[in-house]
């Protein structure tokens, strides 16, 4: 296991949240409900426009983590943890064995999302593995991804860019244009 399960979940969910911006898929409270269900978020919810706005506003802050150098990432992560008054505690609930929560379940959803993402990045920073945060290598896509592969080989996001790029290269070879 490269990283703890909660680190993997936190980073994968953070990338998915960032990528809802380019997908235009977090436009309503119903969209947010679906996202929260899909990614298994527990804890308090408001189901309000304000909650939606706070989560949407978190996306560029998280995206900046993918686009910054190590020093900047540390500043961003520390800022997210401070702003949400993060206080790490080991907890166990449902099917989940011991893992870290750094916010109370009653804290606002956007704060909990921010802190979970930050804690995931904390693990990458400590392990010297920040280069696992990547931008999709496809020319026409700038979605973010987390490369959790053993051989650090992941270059494309989840939205089929790898296939699309391979197919395009194959067609180009067939037609003799490359």
Whole-Å CA distances, 4 to 22, 60, 69, 135, 153: 28, 25, 24, 23, 20
- Cβ proximity to Zn ion: between 153 and 175 the closer is 153
Nearest distance, CB of residue 54 and Zn ion, angstroms: 20
Nearest distance, CB of residue 108 and Zn ion, angstroms: 16
Number of Cβ atoms within 10 Å of the Cβ of 80? 24
Interatomic CA distance for residues 178 and 173, integer angstroms: 6
- Cβ proximity to Zn ion: between 124 and 161 the closer is 161
Nearest distance, CB of residue 158 and Zn ion, angstroms: 8
Number of Cβ atoms within 10 Å of the Cβ of 152? 12
Nearest distance, CB of residue 91 and Zn ion, angstroms: 6
- Cβ proximity to Zn ion: between 72 and 89 the closer is 89
Binding site for Zn ion (CB under 5 A): 136, 138, 141, 143, 157, 161
- Cβ proximity to Zn ion: between 123 and 143 the closer is 143
Interatomic CA distance for residues 102 and 156, integer angstroms: 31
């Amino acid at each position: 296991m490269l990283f703890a399960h909660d680190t993997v979940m936190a980073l994968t969910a953070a990338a998915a949240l960032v990528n809802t911006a380019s997908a235009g898929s977090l436009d309503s409270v119903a969209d947010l409900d679906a996202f929260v269900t899909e990614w298994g978020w527990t804890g308090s919810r408001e189901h309000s426009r304000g909650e939606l706005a706070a989560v949407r506003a978190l996306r560029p802050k998280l995206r900046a983590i993918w686009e910054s150098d190590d020093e900047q990432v540390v500043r961003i992560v520390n800022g997210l943890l401070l702003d949400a008054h993060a206080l790490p505690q080991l907890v166990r609930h449902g099917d989940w064995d011991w893992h870290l929560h750094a916010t109370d379940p009653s804290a606002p959803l956007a704060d909990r999302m921010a802190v979970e993402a930050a804690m995931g990045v904390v693990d990458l920073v400590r392990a010297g593995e920040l280069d696992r945060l990547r931008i999709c290598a496809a020319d026409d896509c700038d979605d973010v991804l987390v490369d959790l592969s053993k051989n650090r080989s992941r270059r494309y996001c989840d939205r089929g860019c790898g296939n699309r790029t391979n197919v395009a290269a194959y067609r180009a070879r067939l037609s003799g244009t490359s």
